[in-house]
Structure 1
Amino acid sequence: MVDGDDPSTDTPVKQGSVPNGTTTLTVSGLSSKTKYDFYLQSNCGDGNIGGWSAVVNFTTKVGPCGVPTAIATDNVTENSATFSWTNPAEQTTGYVWKVVANGGDPSTNTPVAEGYLQSGTNSVKVTGLLSNISYDFYIKSDCGNANVSDWSSVLDFITEKGLGVNDIAFQSLSLYPNPVKSNLTISAKSNVEQLELFSLLGQKVKTLSPNSTQTQLDLSGLSSGTYLLKVTINDSSKTFRIIKE
């Protein structure tokens, strides 16, 4: 019975009879993570049927939530990539996807990009990525009621380097010293419109809008390691690796 229903008046979810002497019964075809009531009564023959037993309440366990498979990517550009996958057979309410730095853990590391898609969707275009950088894409199913699948197998990809007309603005660009201990000097023939410094996990740690041909970026307060500097000139952007000592 549905939890709270009356076995004498309400329509049962499942019903049946078992031979005399039976003491166990398996009921199949129930919904996962659902509350039910179980009742039993004796049939002594010739219309002599006993009253209903005391109710036994139970809740079915959460069913499996399938993992998306056949993850693929195409149309990878400097700053975007499109992904597709095969949806699992199990009913889902949606999908959670993440892009993390290459080698990152989608369960613990801060994602570069993430999102939620409605059930039935089997592709997504991710934008706002940095050029010529390695990333990892993951996706998992959301089956509702806090029932989610494991993450899919990883799909690693590298955004395009961004060759072509946009490179002209960067031919005279100088970044020095690199490695750097404190101040990084950025020099170009055209005005540098914006500087954005990212950690390898994709976290933005500094930003500056100098609008001049030469400026300095103070890195003295940062921990030693490798960073990614996104430089924008004439509305075009390129990313460079910076080593902080």
Structure 2
Amino acid sequence: MLEGFNIMINGNTVTVQGPIGEYMYSIDNSVQQSGNEFENVPEGSHTLTIYDNCGNIRIITFSVTLGTTENVFKSLKSYPNPAQNIFTISNNTIIDKVEVYNLTGQLVKSETINTETAVLKIADLQNGIYMMKVNSGNAEKTIKMVKQ
């Protein structure tokens, strides 16, 4: 079974993160490709299919919402970066949730925020690079954080 995959959406570009290995990817039953990035993905609901060379398949559904992310996260700030114990994310709109992923796509921390400022305790994370998925309403933005 294929596990540990995560989808990062930035505008209409979709990037698949996951375990090291050789995989083929397809969105909405399109031609399979070995690259893990898809550009110009139209707004709406989609299905990503991941294939490995042993015949295993993983299907992930996701949505692309265009035009709102830039306005929702216009004043997004995150600091300090690199961080040691505390990482702060602030915005002019309410941050609903923050998910922290390691570079293999594994979810390592998830916090419900429901305020304009998220103060994340990260002392328990190993040193390294993390991707943070910030959700506000229907908008989503991914930012990079370095933990020292």
Question: Deviation at 1:122?
Answer: 8.2
CA deviation vs aligned residue, 1:139-193 (integer Å, no higher than 9, x gap)? 3364xxxxx9xxxxxxxxxxxxx87432111111111101100111111111000
Aligned residue in 2 for 1:126: 48
For 1:80 and 1:184, how far apart are their aligned partners in 2?
24
Q: Distance in 2 between matches of 1:242 and 1:163?
A: 24
> In the alignment, residue 202 of structure 1 is paired with which amino acid?
G
Q: Which of 98, 107, 111 matches 1:195?
A: 98
Q: TM-score, normalised by structure 1?
A: 0.39
Counterpart residue type for residue 21 of structure 2: D
CA distance in 1, matches of 2:143, 2:15: 18
Higher RCO (Cα < 8 Å, 6 or more apart):
2
Corresponding letter in the other structure for 1:177: P
CA distance in 2, matches of 1:197, 1:171: 21
* Aligned mate of 2:118, from 215, 223, 239: 215
CA offsets per residue over residues 50-88 of structure 1, 9 Å max, x none? xxxxxxxxxxxxxxxxxxxxxxxxxxx44478xxxxxxx
Letter in 2 for 1:195: V
Alignment match, 2:42: none
1:234 equivalent to 2:137? Answer yes
- TM-score (normalizing by structure 2): 0.62
Structure 2 distance, partners of 1:182, 1:141, is 41
Q: Decide which structure has greater strand share.
A: 2
Q: How many residues align?
A: 111
Partner of residue 180 from structure 1, selected from 70, 75, 83: 83
Q: Structure 1, residues 2-26: CA drift from partner, whole Å, max 9, x if none?
A: xxxxxxxxxxxxxxxxxxxxxxxxx
How far apart are the structure 2 equivalents of 1:165 and 1:197?
A: 22
Percent identical pairs in the alignment equals 27
Give the letter for the 2:102 counterpart: S
Distance 2:30 2:67 in 1: 32
Q: RMSD between aligned alpha carbons?
A: 3.2
Runs of 4+ residues deviating >2 angstroms:
77-81, 121-125, 137-142, 162-165
8 Å contact from structure 2 (residues 85, 123) kept in 1: yes
CA distance in 1, matches of 2:131, 2:54: 32
Who is 1:100 aligned against? 18
State the alpha-carbon separation in 2 of the partners of residues 175 and 241 from structure 1. Answer: 9
Which residue pairs with 1:18 in the alignment?
Answer: none
Q: How far apart are 1:238 and its partner, in Å?
A: 0.9
Rg bigger for which structure? Answer: 1
Unaligned runs of 5+ in 1: 1-76, 82-98, 115-120, 128-136, 143-147, 149-161
CA distance in 2, matches of 1:193, 1:229: 13
